[in-house]
């Protein structure tokens, strides 16, 4: 990327980086919060070489991981989500596609939440 003077880096973090996660999620939330700091620092470091660096932080997304949640009932989380539904992998992927595109050349060092308003 540096040799080409162009690049797009999109890191995936989590809503847990912002809200601390749930019970027994301290290590996970800390690692994801570290990803946010890494994203912001790296954006400053490689920006002069035409490289953008951003992070996407999903909330509750319908995936095999979340369908095996310890609670066993993802619908119990719906009252915490203002749009009253779980997100889809496609909604996360579409944001990542934008951030990886030429259209996002002035977007860098940012964190984007795909959470249905949950924070």
Is 6 in the active site?
no
Neighbouring CB atoms inside 10 A of 2's CB total 11
* pLDDT score at 66: 65
Q: What is the mean pLDDT of residues 78-89?
A: 94
pLDDT tens digits for range 94-119: 999 999 999 999 999 999 999 999 98
Taking the model in full, what pTM does it have? 0.90
Residue ranges of domains in the chain, CATH in brackets:
7-114 (3.40.50.720)
Catalytic residue among 9, 19, 22, 28: 28
Candidates 73, 71, 82, 93; CA nearest to 115 is 82
**Residues 23-57: pLDDT tens digits?**
778 999 999 999 999 999 999 999 999 999 999 99
């Amino acid at each position: 990327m540096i040799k080409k003077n162009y690049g797009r880096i999109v890191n995936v973090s989590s809503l847990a980086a912002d809200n601390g996660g749930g019970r027994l999620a301290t290590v996970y939330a800390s690692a994801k919060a570290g990803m946010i700091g890494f994203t912001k620092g790296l954006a400053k470091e490689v920006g002069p070489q035409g490289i953008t660096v951003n992070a996407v932080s999903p909330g509750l997304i319908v995936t095999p991981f979340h369908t095996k949640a310890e609670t066993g009932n993802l619908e119990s989380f719906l009252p915490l989500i203002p749009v009253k539904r779980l997100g889809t992998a496609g909604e996360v992927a579409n944001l990542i596609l934008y951030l990886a595109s030429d259209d996002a050349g002035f977007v860098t060092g940012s964190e984007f939440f795909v959470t249905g308003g949950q924070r």
